[in-house]
Amino acid sequence: MLGNPLSTGEASMKVKTLILRAPGTNCDQETIEAFEEAGSRVEVKHINSLLKDPSILDEYHIFCIPGGFSYGDDLGAGKILACQLKYRLRKPIERIVSEGRIILGICNGFQALVKAGLLPGLSGLFSRQEATLALNEGGFFIDRWVYIRCEEVTRCKPLKDLAGAILHAPINHAEGRFIAPPDILDILEDDGYIVFRYVDPSGCISRGWNPNGSMNNVAGICNRDGNVIGLMPHPEKYIHPYTHPSWTRFDNILEDNCLRFFKTLVEYTYLHIL
Amino acid sequence: MQDTHRVWRVYVSYKQDTLDPVSMRIQWEIRDMDVKGVEKVKVIQGFRLDGDLSEDDVKLICEELLHDPIIQEYVYFLEGESNIRLDGWIIEVKYKPGVFDSLASSVLEASRIIGIDRLSHAETFTLYVLNGCLNYDKVELVARRCLANPIIHDYKILPPV
């Protein structure tokens, strides 16, 4: 065993994370802080820099597309960013996936990965859109806290150490209702593509705790190799206890935050990708 | 190459049997206005694409940019050559001349990302198809109070054929 590299500061010297900025991205600062707190070196690049020199992406172990409203979400949430990934950054992204490095999409990043055909990617990378994140069931933007459970049986090796964990995190989206055709949903269920589900506080799947009408309470999925991961909730917004609305009222909130999500990713990267 | 400068129209709407929260919300709002008789609302996002576009170009724009293949469907046709029949009262809402159309601007920008640089101009509009026990006055009230913002929108009403 290598021990906990995060506690020694070793990982912070080695794991490199790139946070993408695009017009309308607005969660980049929280995401930078989350990865830094988790022990990674972090850099942020605007998409125009990547379009100018796509090989920049080869320098990082984790590529994270944070939340926001990229390009105004005009053509559908994440749609234009998805086109940038598919048409202009295809090769370096294919290299990331084939080399087993990690791509993480949070909220708008998740929407972009799904619409680019990177998630779930059953027919191959970028081949076709196989699922979607549609307008919430009620037709409104939702801003609230939810519970999500990291599934025990999943292909997502980078989050294996989080299996069974229940995270409390905020959601802030208008288009988060996960929909997949029945044949695709069956594969996602049977073959472990589902990484997170909306649950009640005790971890049970419940219609009442599904905030947006997502099929099978799906909150996050991964690709075949488990190294492209997307989720709608925002774990980066709860890495400090005091960002929880009830932090002054409950003792266990002090330890029970989403920093472990990022630590798990960074630690996996240190142990298995470097 | 068969095409020269022409104007294409594209209609994008939710697939049948797919939950359409936008239409549902409009029905709630009409009910909230105490207008009775509206039994069904269908919302169609329209695009007007102007440029030296081939049919393949238009199809690519529709596939990659204008619709979500999981929940929506689209039709496209040359302006003035449509055989599409929409049953019900139709309200067309579009921006007044001079109002910035951000959706159209995004279509222009995004079409270049996917390799189409022959789209010279785009406009958007929304078609609301209302069914039920309605007359012109009721539909006009719905259009004026619920579907259009008179500061930025023009609307026109087409009775059922």
Tell whether the model's pLDDT for residue A254 goes beyond 70: no
What is the reported pLDDT for B82?
Answer: 77
Per-residue pLDDT averaged across A147-154, rounded?
Answer: 96
What is the reported pLDDT for A1?
Answer: 38
Q: Answer yes or no: do B69 and A129 touch at CB < 8 A.
A: yes
Per-residue pLDDT averaged across B133-153, rounded?
Answer: 95
Mean pLDDT of chain B: 93
What is the reported pLDDT for B68?
Answer: 97
What is the reported pLDDT for A252?
Answer: 66
Residue of higher predicted confidence among A108 and B19: A108
Locus of tokens 């996002």 = B45
- Mark which residues 211-230 of A lie under 8 Å from B by CB: 213
CB-CB neighbors (< 8 A) of B105 in chain A = 74
- Percentage of residues in chain B with pLDDT exceeding 70? 98
List the catalytic residue out of A151, A175, A236, A267: A236
Distance from B101 to chain A by nearest Cα, in Å?
10
Q: What residue ranges do the domains of chain A occupy?
A: 5-273
Distance from A136 to chain B by nearest Cα, in Å?
7
Q: pTM of whole model > 0.90?
A: yes
Tell whether the model's pLDDT for residue A9 goes beyond 70: no
User: Burial of A197 by CB count in 10 Å (0-12 exposed, 13-18 middle, 19+ buried)?
Assistant: buried
CB-CB neighbors (< 8 A) of B102 in chain A = 72, 74
Q: What residue ranges do the domains of chain B occupy?
A: 6-158
Tell whether the model's pLDDT for residue A250 goes beyond 90: no
Per-residue pLDDT averaged across B140-154, rounded?
Answer: 95
A155 contacts A225 by C-beta, under 8 angstroms: yes
* Nearest residue to B82 (alpha-carbon basis) of B33, B48, B130: B48
Tell whether the model's pLDDT for residue A11 goes beyond 60: no
Q: Can you tell me the distance from the alpha carbon of A232 to that of A221, in angstroms, rounded to the nearest whole number?
A: 10
Q: Answer yes or no: do B109 and A80 touch at CB < 8 A.
A: yes
Distance from B25 to chain A by nearest Cα, in Å?
7
Complex-level ipTM: 0.91
Helix (H, G, I), strand (E, B) or coil at B114: coil
Chain A / chain B CB contacts < 8 angstroms: 64
What is the reported pLDDT for A56?
Answer: 96
Q: Can you tell me the distance from the alpha carbon of B146 to that of B48, in angstroms, rounded to the nearest whole number?
A: 24
Which CATH number does A5-273 carry? Answer: 3.40.50.880
Per-residue pLDDT averaged across B13-17, rounded?
Answer: 93
What is the reported pLDDT for B4?
Answer: 65
Tell me, yes or no, if A258 is annotated catalytic. Answer: no
**Least CB-CB distance to B64: which of A83, A134, A140?**
A83
Farthest-apart Cα atoms in chain A, separation: 50
Q: Does domain B6-158 have CATH number 3.30.1280.10?
A: yes
Q: Residue A2 — very low, low, confident or very high, per pLDDT cuts 50/70/90?
A: very low
Per-residue pLDDT averaged across B51-63, rounded?
Answer: 96
- Percentage of residues in chain A with pLDDT exceeding 90? 87
